[in-house]
Amino acid sequence: MHSHHSHSIDYVAHGVDSLEDIVARAVKMQFKLYCLTEHMPRLDPKYLYPEEITGKSDADLKALQEKFRGFLEHASEIKGRGYATKFIIGTEVEGCDTRHIAYAKELMKQNSGVLQFCIGSMHHVNGVPIDFDQREWLRALEFAGNNLKRLVIDYFEQQFVMISELRPLVVGHFDLFRLYCSKEVFIDSTSGQKVEHTHPAAVCAAEVSFIDLWPEIKMLALRNIKLIASYGGLIEINTSGLRKKLRDPYPGREFAMLAKSVEGTRFVLSDDAHGVAHVGVCYNQALYYIDSVIQLDRLHFIEDAGGVLSVNSLSVEDLKRQPFWDSYNAVLQEDSR
Ligand SMILES: [Zn+2]
Ligand SMILES: [Zn+2]
């Protein structure tokens, strides 16, 4: 079993447990591959999260740089320990603007001896975080003229720029904008404009079918998916969506089915852990999603042969039969006692 995406409290403010504890859990669960992929440092104080702000933005930005250096050193040391679990080191890049995209490229080059790949992610739309909390998401919506269709169009446009420039091996949480599509927010199903729930065309944001309602969004998502397939990029099925109580992991079924329809699309699995309890989180549900909801035949994963990465795959039938599930379920059972 694999996870291609993880964090820890040592290197990100909203982490839960230490990198050592997360690594120990991945080893105990008998993951074959576990990728350590801390966030790249952000360069502009406007992208700092509330929990990172001390009032001295230079010091706050410098702290991100120092943490990232610490992560590279620590992760390299872990990788060298020779665990049965293979650890691959990457970074989750911020596709928030052209400056950060250029910086991500530079970081990859500067640290090419350590960083083996990157996860291309979008956490902001028009400079506002969409995955921090409901309030910030609503602010991002406001920035998009209180129009959900506009917000998602802006997201996919910026994601396209990031993917074109960086060609990340893994594209992170493809439809992250869904996270705070709340039951309390109502949208005009034609225009995408935020409305009162009494509006005749009101649909609750949590139930919006982006692809069915808005062909423009389908077109942009399809363009991005085709681009990812064109250079051999991978789309992660990220179980943090399930952990945060969404119905599906990222990408949700409508975007996952759209991606599946594109020739060359390859999915990998990630837990996006920030703590011990997140390691392999909801993997039973993810297996059901892969097998019965979106009905994939194969799941892909990264392999590392002496520092050279390649992409391999296994059938979903073989995935179900992996001995991993025994050690995984044993650890979960131990936890629930
Ligand atoms: Zn992310
Ligand atoms: Zn992440």
The tens-digit pLDDT sequence of the chain (337 residues) is 999 999 999 888 888 899 999 999 999 999 999 999 999 999 999 998 888 999 898 999 999 999 999 999 999 999 999 999 999 999 999 999 999 999 999 999 999 999 999 999 999 999 999 999 999 999 999 999 999 999 999 999 999 999 999 999 999 999 999 999 999 999 999 999 999 999 999 999 999 999 999 999 999 999 999 999 999 999 999 999 999 999 999 999 999 999 999 999 999 999 999 999 999 999 999 999 999 999 999 999 999 998 899 999 999 999 999 999 999 999 999 988 8
Distance 191 CA to ligand 2 centre (A): 32
Distance 112 CA to ligand 2 centre (A): 20
Distance 6 CA to ligand 2 centre (A): 6
DSSP 289: I
Distance 92 CA to ligand 2 centre (A): 6
Residue 142 identity: E
Which ligand does the CA of 132 lie closest to? 1
Q: Is 130 helix (H, G, I), strand (E, B) or coil?
A: coil
Distance 39 CA to ligand 2 centre (A): 7
Distance 298 CA to ligand 1 centre (A): 24
Q: Choose among 98, 112, 208: nearest CA to 151.
A: 208
User: Which two tokens mark 42?
Assistant: 């952000």
Distance 171 CA to ligand 1 centre (A): 10
Beta bridge pairs of residue 304: 309
The enclosing H or E element of 283 equals helix 283-288
Distance 104 CA to ligand 1 centre (A): 14
Torsion angles phi and psi, residue 303, rounded to 5: -125, 150
Domain ranges of the chain: 2-336
Query: Rounded to whole angstroms, how far apart are CA atoms 83 and 85?
Result: 5
Distance 170 CA to ligand 1 centre (A): 12
Is domain 2-336 annotated with CATH 3.30.420.40? no
Query: Rounded to whole angstroms, how far apart are CA atoms 130 and 61?
Result: 20
Question: Which residue matches tokens 């591959």?
Answer: 33
Q: What share of the chain is helix, strand, coil (3-state, %, to 5)?
A: 45, 20, 35
Distance 94 CA to ligand 1 centre (A): 8
User: Which two tokens mark 91?
Assistant: 């970074």
Q: How many residues does the chain have?
A: 337
Question: Which residue matches tokens 């992170």?
Answer: 172
Distance 184 CA to ligand 1 centre (A): 24
| pTM, full prediction | 0.96
